[in-house]
Structure 1
Amino acid sequence: MTSNTRPFPRRGPLKSTRPFPRRGPLKGTRPFPRRGPLKGTRPFPRRGPLRAALVALAVLPLVGGCSSLPSVHGISLGSASPSASQYQAEPARHEGGTLAVGDWESPTNFSPLFNEEVPAAQLDALLYSGLVRLDPNLQPVPDLVERVPTLENGDVKWNRAAGTVDVTYRLRAGLRWSDGEPLTPYDVAFTWGLIVNPKVQGVLSPDGYRAISRIDIRDQQRFTLHFDRVYPKYLNLFPAVLPQHRLAGIAPEQLATNAFWGRPDVVSGPFKISELVPDDHIALVRNDAWSQGRAGRRAHLDGILYKIYPEAGQLMDAARAGQVSLALELPDDQLATLANTGAVTVQRRSQLAYEQVTFNQADPNPLTGLSPPWKNDPALLQALRAAIDRPGIVKKFYGDRARLAESPIPSALAAFHDPDVSLTYDVAAAAKLLDGDGWVAGADGIRSKNGRRLSFHIVTALGSPLRSGVRDELIAQWRKVGAEVTATEAHPSELFSGYAQGGLLERGQFEAGLWTWSIGPDPDGVYPLEHSSEIPTDKNQGQGSNFGRFSSADIDRNLDKGRTSLDTIERARSYAAFERAYARLGFELPLFERVLVVMASPHLHNLAPNAAPDTTLWNAADWWVD
């Protein structure tokens, strides 16, 4: 699992990308690790996302209940590079004060390299600065650097013939760590060295850093990353830069477990920790050194009190009572019951993650020892997809407050979608497909073909009422077209464990499965889920997140093209072609995008929900309270 895509454990992480909820999986289950993929890709870690923007920013459209929703995208097809962010903070009319923020899970540490928990990612956004951040529209915003490097401005050099890329950055002049030491390109190079050092164990997503062959430091501000292959996600690298002068003395083998991460005493973000009481609260105060190199800009708030509640229900009650001004990462299965009040506003945005059904293509199936009923039968898969009333499911479980998923690529990446690819609910068409395909209904209404009943199991994780409800709805709707589907449940640790630990998904020990995949802010996040090279096997030591054992030359070709170009237009064509192949083959049934949900005081300004790995706290320096 080399990418940044997980099934979606919400609170936590992904080393690459896995299927389960991040916060959870049982207790609440967050929508997935927001920090991005897992090892492979998880189904929904909690580090995930939502946010909302109390401020009416035209560039930050929120997911609403109407059918006509504004598209959100982070690139322009008129250029070959990411477009500039249009984010503009509302000028503060009041300075100072401490904001109470609530969460329902406590971070175990504050290590952006090793910890993919959602609450940790959120606090890391306050503690650490990176080269570039992504705004809620997934457009890049300079953080430690003066400008975003692109092909157009000449900071990115792409040698197509050699397949190499050079990216030059210029740090802001005068940057300082919280202890007053200068922040320089040597800190960037040090961070890279840690990530690719084989003695440093447990780094979450080293793949893109391994594509860097060397870093040339030109002076105290400028440096160049030399990539030995094309890496379109170069702007996603270095979301946090680490202090060389503080960490260089720690042995690489001991870095992951060093006490520094429990309470970092040298940071570069707009806030720093002043008090920490595990499982109760974390007090942060403004880091005045952050203003150095930023033309006098500083955080408007004096501090943030990060309060931890034992479960999401208590957090929501606290928000309604005014005990916190912002409640983070609320379970999206509560959306249908949440309402605005005078004290709080509910805000939401689509996550970069989608709920889906995977139809395992392994032959023979490792669980049953038989060929799957859909072997060499695309008509059956299309019928199973057409039989499901996805809009009805969204209305029932989300009150129409979630967006339908048409493919694995998030709707936020609108420029990478083929607008003609969509899945239509049509029971009559599904029945006609089955009739024409030789699936004949028996006396009990269940269809058979060549002596085999149309019967299979669908597995889900224990502990998620939302997922159980969706599963039961799927089973009932499939029954109407003559498919007999039986529900099975597994503990999340059993379902989502790694290949070596016998995880049911990684081992392919299922017929069909229902979980959430977290994709991340680039369409290449689909690669570990759908490319045939990513099928976990003994031969590749279980590396990969293609749990459905999909194999398609058409899909492989287009995913390969998408990750080997820096040209946005070329990439858009490749991913649109991928979507067409994905829809034609029907290996998955995309249902809906998970939702990032927060509750916030109407007195909090510049809150801008962000499903990107930068989290809801990405722009906390701009927050102010009237």
Structure 2
Amino acid sequence: MIKPSYIGNLLQRLVLLFLLGVGACTTPPPAPPTAGVPTSAPATANSPSATPSPTSIPPRLLTICLGQEPESLFLYADQSLAANSVREAIYDGPFDLVGFDVQPVILEKKPSLVNGDALLEAVEVGGGEIIMDAGGKFTTLGEGVLYYPAGCSQADCAVVYSGNQPVLMDQLVVRFKLKAGLLWSDGAPLTAADSQYSFQVASALYPRYRPALIQTTASYQALDALTVEWRGVPGYRDPQYPTNFFSPLPQHAWGGFAPEQLLVNELPRRMPLGWGAYQIEEWTPGDHIRLRKNSYYFRAAEGLPAFDQLVFRFVPAGEEALAALLAGECDLVDKSALSEVDAPALGELERTARLKVIYERDAAWEHLDFNLAPLSQPDPLAAAIANRDLRQAMAACLDRSAIAASLFGNQSEVPVTYVPSSHPLFNPEAPEYPFDPQTAGAKLTLLGWIDHDNHTETPRLAQGVPGVPDGIPLQFSYLTIDGATRQRAAELVRASLAQCGIQIDLQLLSAEQLFAPGPEGVVFGRQFTLAQFGWETSFQPPCFLYTQSEIPGQYPQHPKGWGGANATGYSNPEFDQACRTALATLPDQNEHRQAHLQAQAIFAQDLPAIPLYTIPNRLAMRVDMCGVVADAAEGNAMFNIEGFNYGEACNLP
């Protein structure tokens, strides 16, 4: 299942990585079932829950332990990891993201400009209609608006609208075709109309799901039983267009409900219909969800899934979840239940063959942010931080490889930029800063930061540093989340910087305190000096995180208001232009790749944030388990749940 990409709300976009192995999870209380609505499907003679005859083969059972219980399985409600893990069993696709590429599942193919399922069509646009202007902003076409006419995508051919006649602009059109013969788990045909219905529901519930996609959609309609067409706002070129398909919802079963009712009705919340490998059979609040093999699954002829029954158990995250796995009560423990398990302890259990661990290596990336545009009281070190030479020297003072290895063994890497090396748009030629405290120390001295007493235990002092009074120590406040892993990482950062005569004063805050929106919030209110936190790895390189338009602040000076993501306050017109080009071109076009590479090179040179390490997700399972695949782009290893197996079947060719 596709995970939502750039979500409009900052607090949704921000990954509070204490949920990714660096802090505690909480389990919401289960919602009580509504009177009169069943929470289990009736057993039939062919159902796995029916009493087997003396000669029948016992049903094969797969048990997966989750660290929390979902609140709802309705597609546009609970977006927790636990809810999405269960949804992977009842929906398959509609496409998967593997290796940062779109792989169709229930679609015939991935649309592209090359195969003709995507095209730029010249359409007539009149005054007052919504467009994307030449600056990348959504606006109404009116007198004085700069826009790209049809066939134009560069500044040298942009035109100012005169306001007196319709104009031709390019509109991105994408057609998606479903595979023939797909059925819902109740046997009803799954059609393009179900995808159109899903779009209508998502639009009515805006901004719950993919709000940016809904905002940029001019129309979404079924053309026939298998084909649906998406049209973007004129002037908008979406680099993620192959994912602009809305996952079908069963209109035949839910069409009589108002969209708001789907959020509270027990059938879509607890017993949703799907087309995937399994279908919900029973939900016992506070304990488990039981599913059975979907006899209408479109891949059933391939012998999938391998199990007759699937149970998702809800267990406390941490040691209890691990104990349940070791006791044979779970076949697999989802990453939501491993958040508090120490990585070395898990590695030792794997080395002694008591369990198997699968790692999703580049799930997120941790970084050290500099506040380059503080809104708090004047900082005597603000001028020093503004000098990129100092930031580069600090990067060379950090033994990031040792920090990553100490935290995650060999399952983490030091990213060069905001793009992992596994991404096809990664720039391998971007500047790097390997650990070299001697060279970094010499550079600090040249910048005017003097080791006055020849002791690294004490911070260097300013002497002739532009904008910094002489005698000011090279000493920064350093904020991060109060989870055990992050605290350990911050202490390693402190020890590493101390080798260069740089001192940090560590302050641990709760996630709620650290990420509170501005103007009161310390990070997104730009009231910090240095801060360490993480962002989730995304399908498209997230250069937008460091653009000027994303700087949080007072509207209208700052277009995103206090919802901007660029807490560093970094502003570089050259970087902004490269990022704008990358986000306004299609992946099929050469300038798309070149713009992303250029943006990364500028970022790595300027270093508004120092990438520290990637954060791996972990799944633990029985040693004879197979078919489990972890991928950073997909973000949930359950995407291949139909292929899970264990025992002798894993040894078959």
- TM-score where L is the length of structure 1: 0.81
Query: Could you tell me how far apart the structure 1 residues matched to 2:82 and 2:575 are?
Result: 35
Among 503, 506, 522, the alignment partner of 1:487 is 506
SS of corresponding position for 2:419: coil
Unaligned runs of 5+ in 2: 27-56, 122-150, 153-168, 648-653
Among 329, 336, 357, the alignment partner of 2:344 is 336
Tell me the residue number matched to 2:211. 206
1:109 aligned partner, one-letter code: S
Query: Could you tell me how far apart the structure 2 residues matched to 1:14 and 1:100 are?
Result: 35
Alpha-carbon offset, residue 479 of structure 1: 2.2
Structure 2 counterparts to residues 274-313 of structure 1, below 5 A:
274-291=281-298, 298-313=304-319
Tell me the residue number matched to 2:417. 407
Whether the 8 Å CA contact 1:288–1:298 is kept in 2: the answer is no
1:393 aligned partner, one-letter code: I
Query: Could you tell me how far apart the structure 2 residues matched to 1:312 and 1:302 are?
Result: 28
Tell me the residue number matched to 2:88. 125
Among 480, 498, 520, the alignment partner of 1:460 is 480
After superposition, give the CA deviation of every residue in 1:184-218 in whole Å (9 maximum; x if it has no partner).
11111122223233xx2551422123222112422
Whether the 8 Å CA contact 1:416–1:571 is kept in 2: the answer is no
- 1:512 is the counterpart of 2:530: yes
CA 1:243/1:436 → structure 2, altered by over 3 Å: closer, same or farther? same
CA 1:402/1:614 → structure 2, altered by over 3 Å: closer, same or farther? closer
Alpha-carbon offset, residue 309 of structure 1: 1.4
Alpha-carbon offset, residue 441 of structure 1: 2.9
Unaligned runs of 5+ in 1: 8-12, 31-93
Tell me the residue number matched to 2:333. 327
After superposition, give the CA deviation of every residue in 1:322-346 in whole Å (9 maximum; x if it has no partner).
3221112133872223232444212
After superposition, give the CA deviation of every residue in 1:534-566 in whole Å (9 maximum; x if it has no partner).
112231342321121111112211111111111
Tell me the residue number matched to 1:45. none
Query: Could you tell me how far apart the structure 2 residues matched to 1:241 and 1:610 are?
Result: 24
After superposition, give the CA deviation of every residue in 1:48-69 in whole Å (9 maximum; x if it has no partner).
xxxxxxxxxxxxxxxxxxxxxx
Query: Could you tell me how far apart the structure 2 residues matched to 1:19 and 1:362 are?
Result: 23
Tell me the residue number matched to 2:62. 99
Whether the 8 Å CA contact 2:201–2:259 is kept in 1: the answer is yes
Task: Name which structure has the greater RCO, CA cutoff 8 Å, separation 6+.
Answer: 1
Tell me the residue number matched to 1:83. none
Query: Could you tell me how far apart the structure 1 residues matched to 2:404 and 2:289 are?
Result: 36
**Percent identity between the two aligned chains:** 21
Tell me the residue number matched to 1:388. 398
2:19 aligned partner, one-letter code: R
After superposition, give the CA deviation of every residue in 1:249-276 in whole Å (9 maximum; x if it has no partner).
3334454444445303322322122122
Query: Could you tell me how far apart the structure 1 residues matched to 2:378 and 2:498 are?
Result: 21
CA 1:336/1:601 → structure 2, altered by over 3 Å: closer, same or farther? same
Query: Could you tell me how far apart the structure 2 residues matched to 1:246 and 1:579 are?
Result: 48
Which stretch of structure 1 is more off in the superposition, 553-562 or 413-422? 413-422
Query: Could you tell me how far apart the structure 2 residues matched to 1:596 and 1:112 are?
Result: 23
Tell me the residue number matched to 2:461. 447
- TM-score where L is the length of structure 2: 0.78
Tell me the residue number matched to 1:619. 640
CA 1:116/1:394 → structure 2, altered by over 3 Å: closer, same or farther? same
Alpha-carbon offset, residue 607 of structure 1: 1.4
Whether the 8 Å CA contact 2:421–2:428 is kept in 1: the answer is no
Whether the 8 Å CA contact 2:113–2:119 is kept in 1: the answer is yes
Tell me the residue number matched to 1:558. 578
Larger radius of gyration: 2
Among 488, 491, 495, the alignment partner of 1:476 is 495
CA 1:398/1:265 → structure 2, altered by over 3 Å: closer, same or farther? closer
Query: Could you tell me how far apart the structure 2 residues matched to 1:99 and 1:585 are?
Result: 50
Whether the 8 Å CA contact 1:347–1:599 is kept in 2: the answer is yes
SS of corresponding position for 1:108: coil
Which stretch of structure 1 is more off in the superposition, 530-539 or 419-428? 419-428
CA 1:601/1:148 → structure 2, altered by over 3 Å: closer, same or farther? same
Among 24, 28, 32, the alignment partner of 1:28 is 24
Whether the 8 Å CA contact 1:349–1:596 is kept in 2: the answer is yes
Whether the 8 Å CA contact 2:578–2:596 is kept in 1: the answer is yes
Alpha-carbon offset, residue 618 of structure 1: 0.7
Query: Could you tell me how far apart the structure 1 residues matched to 2:568 and 2:286 are?
Result: 38
Structure 2 counterparts to residues 33-44 of structure 1, below 5 A:
none
Tell me the residue number matched to 1:602. 623
Tell me the residue number matched to 1:547. 567
Among 308, 316, 319, the alignment partner of 2:322 is 316
CA 1:258/1:372 → structure 2, altered by over 3 Å: closer, same or farther? farther
SS of corresponding position for 1:557: helix
Tell me the residue number matched to 2:162. none
- 1:152 is the counterpart of 2:114: yes
Query: Could you tell me how far apart the structure 2 residues matched to 1:497 and 1:246 are?
Result: 41
Among 534, 543, 555, the alignment partner of 2:550 is 534
Number of residues of Structure 1 aligned to a counterpart in Structure 2:
547
Alpha-carbon offset, residue 22 of structure 1: 5.7
Structure 2 counterparts to residues 229-240 of structure 1, below 5 A:
229-238=236-245, 240=247
Alpha-carbon offset, residue 295 of structure 1: 6.4
Tell me the residue number matched to 1:52. none
Whether the 8 Å CA contact 1:194–1:252 is kept in 2: the answer is yes
2:79 aligned partner, one-letter code: E
Alpha-carbon offset, residue 461 of structure 1: 1.1
Tell me the residue number matched to 1:433. 443
Tell me the residue number matched to 1:64. none
After superposition, give the CA deviation of every residue in 1:277-315 in whole Å (9 maximum; x if it has no partner).
2332211111222338x7676422112111221122121
- 1:267 is the counterpart of 2:274: yes
Which stretch of structure 1 is more off in the superposition, 314-323 or 351-360? 314-323
Alpha-carbon offset, residue 95 of structure 1: 11
Query: Could you tell me how far apart the structure 2 residues matched to 1:403 and 1:26 are?
Result: 17
Whether the 8 Å CA contact 1:373–1:454 is kept in 2: the answer is no
1:315 aligned partner, one-letter code: A
SS of corresponding position for 1:265: coil
Whether the 8 Å CA contact 2:18–2:24 is kept in 1: the answer is no
Which stretch of structure 1 is more off in the superposition, 576-585 or 103-112? 103-112
